[in-house]
Amino acid sequence: MAKPTLEMTIERVRMDLPDTKTLRLTWPDGYDPQFKTGQFITLHWPEATDYKRAYSLCSCALDRGYFDVTVKREGKMGTRIVDWARVGDKLWVLPPAGKFLPVYEPDTHLVCIAGGSGVTPFRAFARESTLRGLTTRITILYSVRHPGEIIFQDEFRQLEAANPQFRLLVTCTRLAQEQPWEGRRGRIDPGWIGAQVEDLAKTVFYACGSQGLVDAAEEMVVRHLGASKAQMKTEKWW
Ligand SMILES: Cc1cc2nc3c(=O)[nH]c(=O)nc-3n(C[C@H](O)[C@H](O)[C@H](O)COP(=O)(O)OP(=O)(O)OC[C@H]3O[C@@H](n4cnc5c(N)ncnc54)[C@H](O)[C@@H]3O)c2cc1C
C-alpha cells in the first residue's frame, strides 16, 4: 500500500552557503516513523502536486520530530527552495525511502565519496555513528571546487572531535596555486581512495552526487582498487 503524503511545516531554515540551504520540516502530531539513516524524502509544494523531487535526509534516524534536508540552488525545485522557502511554509512530504544505508558493523570501514551537495547523507551517517558511540570507521572523501563550498564544515569538525572513528578529508579541484589551503588539491583519484583502505575486504564504499562523480567513483573502486560491486553503494542525484 502506498505510504501517505504528509503536510509538514518548515520550522527552521539556515543558509549553509550562499547557494545552499538547510530546511527543518516538523513532523505532524502523532507521526513517529521508522526509517533508516541515509534514506531520502520526496517533497512537493502544495499547489504543484506533480512536481516532486527527492532530497537525502541529513538528519539521522535518531533525530526525532523533524527531517532536515540540505538543498543546493540548482534547477527548478532547488532554486525555489533556496530562494523562496521560509519558516512557516508548508511542504508535502513522501516518507523516507531508499537503500543507501550505512553498514554499521564494528570492524567495517565506510569510505564515503562525495562531490558538492552530495555530502548530505554522509552527515547523517557520521551523526548516527557518533551519537551511538559506534566503533565503525567512517572516512568522507569530499570534493569541492574551493574551501568556501564545504557544507557542514564546523559540524564535521565537531563530529571528528567527538568521534575518533570519523574523519573528513577534503580535496579542492579549482584552487589557484597562490590561494592558501593546507588540504589536498586535485580531483579524487584511485590513489587517494586506496590510501584510506587498510583492509579491502572490510571496507564498504559509498558515492553520492552527480552521475559523473558516482560513475567515476565506482570505476575507481571496482576497477582500480579491485573491490567487488557488492562493496560499492551509490546514490545518483542527476
Ligand atoms: C535520491 C536523491 C536524493 C537527492 N538529494 C538531494 C539533496 O540532498 N540536496 C540537493 O540539493 N539535491 C538533491 N537531489 C537532487 C534534487 O532531487 C533535484 O533534482 C534538484 O534540487 C534540482 O531540482 P530540479 O530537479 O527541479 O531541477 P530541474 O529544473 O529539473 O533541472 C535538473 C537539471 O539541473 C542539474 N542539476 C540538478 N541538481 C543539481 C545540483 N545539485 N548540482 C548541479 N547540477 C544540478 C542537472 O543538470 C539536471 O539535469 C537528490 C536527488 C535524488 C534522486
Q: Is 16 in the pocket of ligand 1 (CB under 6 A)?
A: no
pLDDT at residue 1 in the model: 63
78 CA to centre of ligand 1 in angstroms: 7
Domains annotated for the chain, with CATH where assigned, are: 6-97 (2.40.30.10), 109-236 (3.40.50.80)
Q: Is 141 in the pocket of ligand 1 (CB under 6 A)?
A: no
226 CA to centre of ligand 1 in angstroms: 30
pLDDT at residue 55 in the model: 98
pLDDT at residue 62 in the model: 98
pLDDT at residue 54 in the model: 98
- Residue with the smallest CA separation from ligand 1 atom 20 is 78
52 CA to centre of ligand 1 in angstroms: 11
- Residue with the smallest CA separation from ligand 1 atom 35 is 75
pLDDT at residue 3 in the model: 74
Which residues have CB under 8 Å from 59's CB, separation 6+?
A: 66, 67, 68, 124, 127
Q: Which atom belonging to ligand 1 lies closest to the Cα atom of 57?
A: 8
pLDDT at residue 227 in the model: 98
- pLDDT 10s per residue in the chain (238 long)? 677 899 999 999 999 999 999 999 999 999 999 999 999 999 999 999 999 999 999 999 999 999 999 999 999 999 999 999 999 999 999 999 999 999 999 999 999 999 999 999 999 999 999 999 999 999 999 999 999 999 999 999 999 999 999 999 999 999 998 999 999 999 999 999 999 999 999 999 999 999 999 999 999 999 999 999 999 999 999 8
73 CA to centre of ligand 1 in angstroms: 9
